[in-house]
Each structure stands twice: as structure tokens, then as C-alpha cells.
Structure 1
Amino acid sequence: MAQQPENIDAYLAGFQDDVREILSEIRGTVRRALPEATEAISYGIPTFRLGGRNVVHFAGWKRHVSLYPIPDGDAAFEHAVEPYRAGKGTLRFHLGEPVPYDLIAQIATLLAEQR
């Protein structure tokens, strides 16, 4: 089993430039949406915490990046996330396609409100 990264910088360092750039932008998007959140590694992936509780996780994969979990939202929100659903609690953004950073910011905000 590979050793868990010490922090988000170490996690990002394990990816090729193109994926690292997307993951870095997701990180920045969440930091701007949740400026009071702290960073951690939980379950082996980057995590943002509020009040000591995990709020949002993101991860890089071979063909996509993912965001976890999916918050509850109104009908418009559900429609917005539907193309990215990849299972219960997982959103998948395929590499080579535009990443909806505004939606990611909205998700982080909703998760913080619902915690």
C-alpha cells in the first residue's frame, strides 16, 4: 500500500502537470468558498474541515477528478450536478472537459451550511 501523503501539497505533487493544475484550481476554489476551513488529508485524499469536521473531499484519478460528498439541493442544483454524478455521494469531472469551478464553489458552500 502506498504511503498516505503528508499534506495536500504532497498529494498534488504525485500528479502530472495537467491533472495537478486542475486539482490546484479545485483547491483554490474551495479555499475561496470556505476561507475559514482548514486543509487535511483524510481517507488518503485532500479534505477541507470546519470545526474539526470533514466538509468536502477531492481527488485525482487516471481519467477524471472527483468531489465528495454531494450536498442536498433544490431542483436547479440537482439538475446542475446530474451530468457529473458517478454514484452515491460522488461527482466526477472528466479530464479534457471543462471543470465547473463555479458549481464546485456552490457545492462547498452548501456542504458547509449543511454540516
Structure 2
Amino acid sequence: MAKTDFKTIDEYQCSFPAEVQERMQAIREIVHQVAPEAEEVISYQIPAFKTGKKFLIYYSAYAKHISLASPWSEALLKEFAKELKGLKVSKSAIQFPNEEPLPLGLIKQIVTFRKNEAG
């Protein structure tokens, strides 16, 4: 990926192959369902969503996975511990391997949890 001065989520997503674009678009649509008031922004050169002054969620694509990111709270990691088992998880990112279907229900639950946390 040569371009690193993205201004919009569309610009970011269009820099990836169609199947990766579809996966990212599914996450984007979930965020808009859960938080229709969320503003689309680019932060750290990746797609992000803000509600007020707080960041709700980020996502980004890589060769082998898509990451859903935010500074995860202990409460969120504990709430979804069972569902996250088997995935690569850090304090700020959850990786969903490209060779597996995206767990859209889980992603929706995580975004909903973050929205409630962000208040």
C-alpha cells in the first residue's frame, strides 16, 4: 500500500482488493447501525469513528487479517473473553483472520459495548 495520506474511509478502503473492501464495509455498516451519530474520520491513517470528542472504534486491513481497534477496557475484554478465545487480542486490537468469515454478530456486540462505554 503506497498511499499513506488518506482523507476519507472510502479512499482507504479502495486501496485494498475487493474481498477485503467488502469485509471492511461490513464493519463500517455495523458501526453506522449501532451508532448512526458517529462521525467517520481518518486517524493514524486508518478508518475511525468518533462520537463527540471520543473515539468509538478503529479498523484496518492487513495481508492476513482485519483489526478492530480501540484502547480496550478491562471490562470489554472480560465481557467478550469467551468469544475472543482463539483470536489474536492485545490491549488495543483484535485480529480477525481473512481466511475466516467475519464474526459480524460479535463485532456488533463490541461496537455496542464501546458506544455504551463512551457514553
* 1:82 lines up with 2:85 in the alignment: yes
Aligned partner letter, 1:14: S
What residue is the counterpart of 2:76 in the other structure? 73
Aligned length: 115
Partners of 1:23 and 1:113 lie apart in 2 by 22
CA deviation after TM superposition for structure 1 residue 52, in Å: 2.3
SS class of match (1:73): helix
CA deviation after TM superposition for structure 1 residue 54, in Å: 1.1
User: How big is the alpha-carbon RMSD for the aligned residues of Structure 1 and Structure 2?
Assistant: 1.8
Partners of 1:21 and 1:44 lie apart in 2 by 19
* 1:113 lines up with 2:113 in the alignment: no
What residue is the counterpart of 1:59 in the other structure? 60
What percentage of residue pairs aligned between the two structures are identical? 30
What residue is the counterpart of 2:96 in the other structure? 93
Aligned partner letter, 1:88: K
CA deviation after TM superposition for structure 1 residue 86, in Å: 3.0
Q: How does 1:9-48 map to 2 (within 5 A)?
A: 9-48=10-49
Q: TM-score, normalised by structure 2?
A: 0.87
Q: TM-score, normalised by structure 1?
A: 0.90
CA deviation after TM superposition for structure 1 residue 100, in Å: 0.5
What residue ranges of structure 1 are gaps of 5+ in the alignment? Answer: none
Q: Give a deviation string over 1:49-88, Cα, whole Å, max 9, x none.
A: 0012211000000110000123423855221123223322
Partners of 1:85 and 1:93 lie apart in 2 by 8
SS class of match (1:62): coil
SS class of match (2:13): helix
What residue ranges of structure 2 are gaps of 5+ in the alignment? Answer: none
Aligned partner letter, 2:104: Y
Aligned partner letter, 2:113: L
Q: Which runs of 4+ in 1 moved over 3 A?
A: 73-76
